[in-house]
Amino acid sequence: MIDFRLYRLAFAPTLVAVIAVMFSLEGAPDALEPAGPPGTFDADAATATARHIATDIPDREPGSPGDEETADLTAQ
């Protein structure tokens, strides 16, 4: 008579190999597109904005109108 336990024992490594091959056949993902170059820093505009904030909005305590005005200016 045929001993099926022997066939099952031989089938187990084959099953493990098939599962390993299934996961290894996935292709490599596409490369990410590089982000565009960052914008250039305009030192003159930054200096002008800082001077405007320092001279025109001297009171910038949290919650004050000057704080809100500075936040609006920064958001623009």
* pLDDT, tens digit (0-9, with 9 covering 90-100), for 28-73: 788 888 877 777 888 998 899 889 888 888 888 888 888 888 888 8
- For position 66, what pLDDT does the model report? 87
- Structural domain boundaries enclosing 54: 47-76
21 in any annotated domain:
no
- Provide the whole-model pTM: 0.43
Q: How far apart are CA 27 and CA 35, in angstroms?
A: 24
* C-alpha closest to that of 70 among 42, 46, 48, 58: 58
Within a domain: residue 27? no
pLDDT of 44 reads 93
Confirm whether 73 is domain-assigned.
yes
Task: Kindly state the helix (H) or strand (E) to which residue 9 belongs, with its residue range.
Answer: helix 4-24
Residue 51 lies in a domain: yes
